[in-house]
Structure 1
Amino acid sequence: MAHLLKDKEAYERLNYLYQAAHCVLSQNPENVELARFYCFTQRTVARRLVLKQDPSVKRTLCKKCSSLLIPGVTATTRQRRKNSKIRFTVMRCLSCGQSKTLLNNPDYCLWVDRPEAQLEQQKQPGDKPQINTTQQLLSRCVV
């Protein structure tokens, strides 16, 4: 069954702008301003059309200056530890100094990666309810 995506053209435009920003920085790391312009345009289009971006894309963009965060090129990456069990990745933008803290938990599963978040998995009006325990759902997420 073909899945029709709403605003497919807009998502293609967002994807193109993100790939263009990566390409510009990979060819010449001094073109930070052009890559920032592409990322700012991507963010503006997504905000104007009220589109949800993938978490992996949002994690690589600076919230303050819309710069693409590439470790060693436009950002520094450090591993921090709050206690023996909780670890964080701290990404600091080299353009504006904004820090982004991401939790390092191998057992954590993003909502978009869970089966119930997928459109194909959602129940139809005539379907029987399917009972899933939390353990069954988590076992699907852990790789």
Structure 2
Amino acid sequence: MSRRFMRQKGQRERKRIAGERIEVLFTLAERIFPYEPELADRYVEIALAVQRKAKIRMPRKWKHRYCKKCRSLLVPGVTARVRLRDGHVVTRCLICGHTMRHPYIREQKERRKKRTVKKTYF
């Protein structure tokens, strides 16, 4: 095997391991949050450091679960206020006051698609 192939194989392996570590850290942060919120925030910081070091994208599942400004775990009703406004999910961090807006167009499209499919068959 060539050196290039071996290097790419090693990089893929490192990225896979980094993804698993991020998953574990966020899961631990969610579990420990009711008992020790500071430790949960530390787990989030470590997960973000792993993500940056491995140069991988944050999994979609966890992307909106931490504050982009203060890097704390966002738990709706405890550390975050979540509202729906004009096609956006508006999340406000109750620790630092940072506001994040995420469109929910994909969900609306899926809902519309389900409605049109049902109408055509019935």
Q: Same fold (TM over 0.5)?
A: yes
Higher relative helix content: 2
Instruction: Show the 5 A alignment for 1:1-143.
Output: 6-7=13-14, 8-25=16-33, 27-28=34-35, 31-81=36-86, 87-105=87-105, 106-107=108-109
- Counterparts of 1:10 and 1:56, CA distance in 2: 15
User: What does the per-residue CA deviation read over 1:48-68, in whole Å, with 9 as the maximum and x for residues that have no partner?
Assistant: 111222122111111111111
How high is the TM-score relative to the length of structure 1? 0.62
Higher relative contact order structure (alpha carbons within 8 Å, sequence separation ≥ 6): 2
Q: CA deviation at 1:33?
A: 1.5
Amino acid in the other structure paired with 1:20: L
What secondary structure is seen at the aligned counterpart in 1 of 2:81? strand
Report percent identity of matched pairs.
Answer: 33
- Counterparts of 1:68 and 1:89, CA distance in 2: 17
Root-mean-square deviation (Å): 2.2
- Counterparts of 2:90 and 2:57, CA distance in 1: 24
Amino acid in the other structure paired with 2:39: L
How high is the TM-score relative to the length of structure 2? 0.71
Q: Structure 1 residue runs of 4+, over 3 Å off?
A: none
User: What does the per-residue CA deviation read over 1:61-115, in whole Å, with 9 as the maximum and x for residues that have no partner?
Assistant: 111111111111210011212xxxxx2111001111111101122227xxxxxxx
What secondary structure is seen at the aligned counterpart in 1 of 2:90? strand
User: What does the per-residue CA deviation read over 1:14-47, in whole Å, with 9 as the maximum and x for residues that have no partner?
Assistant: 111111100011x43xx22211110011001110
Asked if the contact 1:39–1:66 (Cα under 8 Å) also holds between the matched residues in 2, the reply is yes
User: Mean alpha-carbon deviation: is it higher for 16-25 or for 4-13?
Assistant: 4-13
Amino acid in the other structure paired with 2:91: M
- Counterparts of 1:73 and 1:67, CA distance in 2: 12
Aligned residues: 99
Amino acid in the other structure paired with 1:69: L
What secondary structure is seen at the aligned counterpart in 2 of 1:107? helix
